[in-house]
Chains A and B, each alone.
Chain A
Amino acid sequence: MTMAPVDPAARQPPLPRAQLILTDPPEDERIDLDVVFVGAGPAGLAGAIELARLAQNDPDLKGIEIGVLEKAAALGEHSLSGAVVNPRALRELFPDVDPAELPLRTPVMKEAVYFMTQRGAWRLPTPPTMRNHGNHVASLCEIVRWMGERAEAMGINLFAGYPAASLLTAGQRVVGVRTTPSGLGRDGKPGAGFSPSTDIAANVTVLAEGTRGPLAQAFAAWQGITSPNPQVFALGVKELWETKRPLDRVIHTLGWPLPRDAFGGSWVYPMEPNLISLGLVVGLDYHDASLDVHELLQRLKLHPLLRPVLEGGELIEWGAKTIPEGGYYALPERRVGDGAVVVGDAVGFVDVPSLKGVHYAMQSGMYAARAIFAALKAGDTSAARLGEYDRMVNASYVVRDMRRTRNMRLAFKDGFWKGAVRAGLMTATGGRIPGRRIAMAPDATAARRSGTPPTFAPDGQLTISKLDAVFKSGNATRDDIPSHLLPAADVDRATAEFYAHLCPAGVYEWTADGLQVNAPNCVDCKATDVVGPRWTPREGGSGPAYKRM
């Protein structure tokens, strides 16, 4: 068994900033909007809806044009979350909607946390941060579609199937975005059905791209915006099952099948008694280069705790996405620029100990909308004026919650047991012990050793291969699309195999000719963007087509 070190950081190409940030002025054949949101997820839609409502009631700003760009072919098709959602932000955003009409599934009544070994499961007391009373199981796809219908009815322009490829800038100001062209052949040249990119000029551009957004990364790098710690990520792989046996509680597990030096856990949530969301999340600072999150999830389903629930049922959907886990200390010191605001997962508004991000994303979008409204009113969309958003979000429960648990994820960087003890202390003292920042390194630099992965053969019923998984994601990307993934030129076998294990969609393969990239398989989880080949925006409508993820 070889235990050679693997160093993905040495093979990671730099962010392609020249491609993501352009200094061209918008073309004459452009579309002029007042505000453009990049990404129709919970953050972008909440922001657009809040802004439209404020503008509707204002004599000066009535009739402003608000647009939301979305890379998926239809709203919600790239949205994926566990999810147990805190309804707080939705209630604030839709005060006139009967809470029973909000797009949420069952309220959490019972919950259980287990520590797992290969054969056993020990029930643990539910940590205070993980208690979910008052929260609801939900599908983020359904939430996004529902919000989209309301946005459309308010006159917001929803541009599904139109990803933003680049920021258009003038000096230090963001002046809009350019969409991706579509219909390019594998060689990058226009083919049948080619349609060129379109420029969108806007007074304010809101980056609501979600996790590991390329424009948000490029914006921070360009503006020299830093954070105390680098952002770190986890990869979550999720499945939706129709089961024969009902489940009456939300379940979280820790321990097996993860190695002790990896951070993560699983969830099992009933959306309906016989419709179950389950998934596994693993921090990307894991040390075994052959770790494969998709395969670990397949093994987990065979555990005596889960197998009886799933057996005889049917796997309906599959998907994957990264989660920004760095918390408070990974928040960029500013999330605004001249003509630009960053919201939601693109900032990293996720609280790992409570496994929550959806309501923070919405809330951040709403604060951004209020700051943008005031800036438009004043005729000044400078960073100084838009900075009101930073002040609002910093003073809100979003950052307050994240500060309280500021070191909790970070405490697990040295393994599960040390982390568990430290996390217990933090919970008991409201985050005061240890109060100082635990320093983190980027995931790409985590020490990794290659190992021989254990063999696993999916049965095609309870457990599935990565190719079957891609099919179950609804991905129908055309085969001859140019590759949107940018690996380094000199990827060696050990690093290529690390990518192959990491990528849940079977995009990477080591062949006799070197690294092979099966780009159409990509489901936009962004995992390898964190530690390896860069992910760049591609033709609209590519990638997965999630329905109830």
Chain B
Amino acid sequence: MKIAVCIKRVPDTEARVKIAANGAAIDESGVKFILNPYDEFAVEEALRLKEKMGGGEVVVVTVGGDVSQETIRTALAMGADRGVLLKVDAMPLDPVPVARALADELRGGGFDLILCGKQAVDDSSHAVGLMVAELLELPAVGAVAKLEIADGKGVAEREIEGGVEVVEFTLPAVVTADKGLNEPRYPALKGIMAAKKKPLDTKPITLAAPGLEFAALAYPPERQAGRIVGEGAEAVPALIEALRTEAKVL
């Protein structure tokens, strides 16, 4: 079974994000970058499928700068077989050119399954994986929390409001990973050593012109200090008044 996993380098979810001087990007100094956590679920699922099937190949693909090699190495250290870096000067906000670049790379690659994270935690567009499916004219299941593959078919479970949706599909297909799909492994020492010797193909590409651009980035409004309106039952009218006129939630 041949599986491709699309991954992305993103700022650590713990990072303290600062807007850069130009107002349209984040200041990267002191920020740690990691493999997008949802992509980590996708890589783990691909490795488990390969292990279960007793063979096959797991290829990780990303669009990014030279620094994204490190992100690919992380996936290779976990156990992926080879990596492809579609090298660009800058990452666009628009998911369309990224999805096109990935689809162009994956088309004709003979992949039985393409796994992606359901979203990247930096821009959270939730779009690239499903766009890749559309461009490749493949069935797609988004935000999957459980996946079974057998005999050229797949069964995926999606956690929806109030229940679980079970989806059957035929391969090849695109599946995007949600939290809960698995518990990703930490790269083992042997895996880290082996990753250095695995093939990592860097292909410079030019992205299609984006249709979206950053106009501005802004911080969320600062949280105001709380206020105690009173105590006990007597405080209820004042609380309702405050919720209605100040917080405007009633």
Contacts and interface: CB of A to CB of B under 8 A. Distances in A.
A474 B15 CA distance: 10
A476 B29 CA distance: 21
A547 B188 contact: no
B190 A31 contact: yes
B14 A476 contact: yes
Given A474-B14, A476-B14, A545-B14, A159 B30 contact: no
Contact of B189 (A142, A192, A198, A474): A198
A162 interface: yes
B214 interface: no
Interface string A185-212: 0000000110100101000000000000
A64 to B, nearest CB: 13
A182 interface: yes
B193 interface: yes
Contacts of B190: 31, 198
Contacts of A476: 14
B30 A157 contact: no
B219 interface: no
A157 B196 contact: yes
Question: Chain B contact residues: over half helix, strand or loop, or mixed?
Answer: loop
A488 interface: no
A155 interface: yes
A161 interface: yes
Contacts of B188: 195, 198
B201 to A, nearest CB: 18
B84 interface: no
A200 B14 CA distance: 32
Interface in B214-239: none
Contacts, number: 39
B17 interface: no
A157 B183 contact: no
Interface string A518-549: 00000000000000000000000000010110
A274 B65 CA distance: 30
Interface string A233-247: 000000000000000
B136 to A, nearest CB: 34
A174 to B, nearest CB: 19
Contacts of A161: 186
B30 A548 contact: yes
Contacts of A74: 32
Interface residues of A, number: 26
A65 B196 CA distance: 12
Given A157-B196, A548-B30, A182 B14 contact: no
Given A316-B16, A545-B14, A159 B192 contact: yes
Contacts of A545: 14, 32
A132 interface: no
A162 B189 contact: yes
A195 B185 CA distance: 10
Q: Most B CB atoms within 10 A — which of A31, A158, A192?
A: A31
Given A157-B196, A316-B16, A547-B30, A182 B186 contact: yes
B190 to A, nearest CB: 6
A157 B193 contact: yes
Contacts of B196: 155, 157
Contacts of B193: 31, 65, 67, 157
Given A316-B16, A476-B14, A545-B14, A200 B32 contact: no
A298 interface: no
B30 A193 contact: no
Contacts of A157: 192-193, 196
A547 B12 CA distance: 11
6 contacts: A31-B193, A67-B193, A157-B192, A195-B186, A474-B14, A545-B14
Counting from the closest, the 3 A-B pairs by CB-CB distance are A548-B30, A547-B30, A198-B189
Interface of B: 14, 16, 29-32, 70, 183, 186, 188-190, 192-193, 196
Given A157-B192, A158-B192, A182-B186, 12 more contacts: A67-B193, A141-B30, A157-B193, A157-B196, A159-B192, A161-B186, A192-B183, A195-B188, A198-B189, A476-B14, A545-B32, A547-B32
